[in-house]
Structure 1
Amino acid sequence: MSKKIRWGILSTAKIGRTQVIPAIQQCQYAEVTGIASGDKSKARQTAADLGIPKVYNDYQELLSATDIDAVYIPLPNHLHVDYTLQALAAGKHVLCEKPIGLNAADAQRLIDGAAQYPHLKLMEAFMYRFHPQWEKAKEIINAGLLGEVKHVQSIFSYSNMDGNNIRNRVDTGGGALMDIGCYCVSFPRYVFNAEPVRVMGLVHLDPEFKTDSLTSGLLDFGNGHTATLTCSTQLEPYQRINIIGSKGRLEIELPCNAHNDKPNRMFLQRDRVIEEIEIPVANQYALQVDAFSKAILDDAPVPTPLSDALGNMRVIDALFESGEMGEWVRL
């Protein structure tokens, strides 16, 4: 297969500049054709820095372009659904950054709107699922090496005290749970391949920003299967996941921001003996874009359906609701 999907990038967001665009440029089934930004000078600079052939005057010009097949949307959270729908209406396939919207109603609005374009592909960009370390984790779980998996424990934190940053603004859908906690919600849903039946959330709001700076949650999947999560925008940078079963434990050192220039590590504990497993170098962003691009070329289902995005948003909504009410919320 020689054809490549021609990608347009909506915005000069850091995740695009530093991770996704360089990854697409490594892809087998994808290439970056152009970029647009609300600030054309930033688009020009990014194009020059990264060798992107074309700069469009604005988002609408890029969406209308006949030389763009698919768009990657790393815009602020509150713009995800609207611009995804605009891109679909313009005949473009869409890979949209997580979280897919501001809440479950937003996600449902996208699902309803996307139903008008069944020939177009659309996916939420949870890139971690494409990394070989997660493929290995699922292999270990499915082989029964952990016994019955009963608990998933995750933490993800960093420190950002800039009040002007979109991650600290309520109006753009900022806060710990939306920005990085969405991964911690996704992890156990992916491990158990199920949805929690009820959740309990403890949400601390920054007194100045009014976004959640520290959120913890307890997810009950029923039948003695549970998950705990903690996410913060004001703690020492750290991420880790432990998947614990009746016969073993699996720890992934960097479950989200895996190295793309050196091997990653995970640790398998059985009978109190810990084995270090080295995962070969891989770029999860390139693997994600190639998988999505191949789904377009083959007219096959995307790896992660929109129903998964809706499920994640429902849990996030419930955690916020529980934090306000101080009690369990059923899904």
Structure 2
Amino acid sequence: MVKWGVLSTARIGRKKVIPALQKARGVDVVAIASRDEENAKKVATELGIPKAYGSYEALLADPDIEVIYNPLPNHMHVPMTIAAAKAGKHVLCEKPIGLDSTEARQLLEIPDDRFVMEAFMVRAHPQWQRALEIAESGELGKLQSIQAFFGYDNQDPLNIRNRAEFGGGGLMDIGCYPIVASRYFFNAEPSRVVSLVDRDRNFGTDRLSSVMMDFGEGRQAQFTVSTQSVAYQRINLVGTAKRLEILIPFNAPAGEETILRLDCGSVPGDGALEVERIPACDQYTLQGELFSRVVKGQEDLPYGIADAIQNMEILDAIVRSERNNSWESVAPLS
């Protein structure tokens, strides 16, 4: 068993990730920390976690803990991940990895024997893996276009997602998902991007953003993300022969099957759809099991710091495009 510690009592940890980790093979969640010790103890009791700490530093000093899960606000991802690595821990850090690529590059100082992975749990879900398998099989023909939408409605001025100074906004919170999806399914990196962004006048955060990414060789990805819209999400992989649709690509509900739809018809609306059902699973559980296997040396880290930095480079280019009203080049993965 790999012993895990959790930094903060953030909602995503309490409601989704920690319960999922507690079901994971090879994972033992032994500690949680908060700046409020009483709150840490309360959450630890609720979730059956043995240890509770009143500071992040105290948890990092615990010699029994091997892995840190870092779901802190965006502006604390890089500094606390570095602190955890210096304390000898491996780190699963929530997305986005940092506030920009310059900050994210600080993670390069972490020794190679400390594993750091950005928590894109979607990559562990069988529906993404099956969709990639279909795309790579050639069944879609040449994959030409990836189209995605991800939106929800959150207009709470106190919510950290609406706090620009803490890395709030739709692009940082959810725009990173279609970026990762495009890179994953094309198995390539975009060379340039262009964006159209609408910002909330009160929050200063992006509330509606549309982006086009050029992957070269005639391959394009387009996505829209919104923090003030009806809740909806979808990915379409469009090839020269067929189209593959992922119905709930990003926050697939735990314990429910997911659906892939393959459009085999040449005439719009003729109903020629093949439906493939992916058995129920919890992508957070699968992510935890994967990272524990990496820590135990049972398999290689599927992606690490360089991948996380590249995602931030793309987000940076999108912001530059908004500012300069132009196509912007993306720094290549190095």
- 1:122 and 1:260 map into 2 onto residues whose CA distance is 25
Q: Which runs of 5+ in 1 are unaligned?
A: none
- 1:110 and 1:69 map into 2 onto residues whose CA distance is 18
Matches within 5 A, 1:88-237: 88-111=85-108, 113-114=109-110, 117-237=111-231
Secondary structure, aligned partner of 1:71: strand
- CA-to-aligned-CA distance 1:291-312 (integer Å, 9 cap, x gap): 1110110165312222111111
Q: Is the 8 A contact 1:292 1:303 kept in 2?
A: no
Cα offset, 1:282, TM superposition: 0.8
Cα offset, 1:328, TM superposition: 0.5
Instruction: Please say which of residues 198-207 and 300-309 is displaced more in the overlay.
Output: 300-309
- 1:195 and 1:139 map into 2 onto residues whose CA distance is 19
- 2:227 and 2:50 map into 1 onto residues whose CA distance is 36
Structure 2 residue 8 is the aligned partner of structure 1 residue 6: no
TM normalised by structure 2 equals 0.95
- 2:180 and 2:256 map into 1 onto residues whose CA distance is 25
**What residue in structure 2 maps to residue 255 of structure 1?**
249
Structure 2 residue 59 is the aligned partner of structure 1 residue 65: no
Q: Which amino acid aligns with 1:155?
A: F
Q: Is the 8 A contact 1:176 1:231 kept in 2?
A: yes
- 2:305 and 2:250 map into 1 onto residues whose CA distance is 20
Secondary structure, aligned partner of 1:231: strand
TM normalised by structure 1 equals 0.96
Q: Is the 8 A contact 2:38 2:54 kept in 1?
A: no
- CA-to-aligned-CA distance 1:198-250 (integer Å, 9 cap, x gap): 10011111000001111110001111100001001111111100000000001
Among 51, 56, 67, the alignment partner of 1:54 is: 51
**What residue in structure 1 maps to residue 84 of structure 2?**
87
**What residue in structure 2 maps to residue 279 of structure 1?**
278
RMSD of Structure 2 on Structure 1 (CA): 1.0
**What residue in structure 1 maps to residue 75 of structure 2?**
78
- 1:238 and 1:11 map into 2 onto residues whose CA distance is 29
- CA-to-aligned-CA distance 1:89-123 (integer Å, 9 cap, x gap): 00011000000000111111112x21xx2221110
- 1:106 and 1:145 map into 2 onto residues whose CA distance is 40
Structure 1 ranges of 4+ moved more than 6 A: none
- 2:52 and 2:106 map into 1 onto residues whose CA distance is 31
Q: Is the 8 A contact 2:151 2:226 kept in 1?
A: yes
Secondary structure, aligned partner of 1:182: helix
Q: Is the 8 A contact 1:247 1:271 kept in 2?
A: no
Q: Is the 8 A contact 2:115 2:304 kept in 1?
A: no
**What residue in structure 2 maps to residue 291 of structure 1?**
290
Secondary structure, aligned partner of 1:101: coil
- 1:261 and 1:58 map into 2 onto residues whose CA distance is 34
The percentage of aligned residue pairs carrying the same residue is 46
- 1:43 and 1:237 map into 2 onto residues whose CA distance is 32
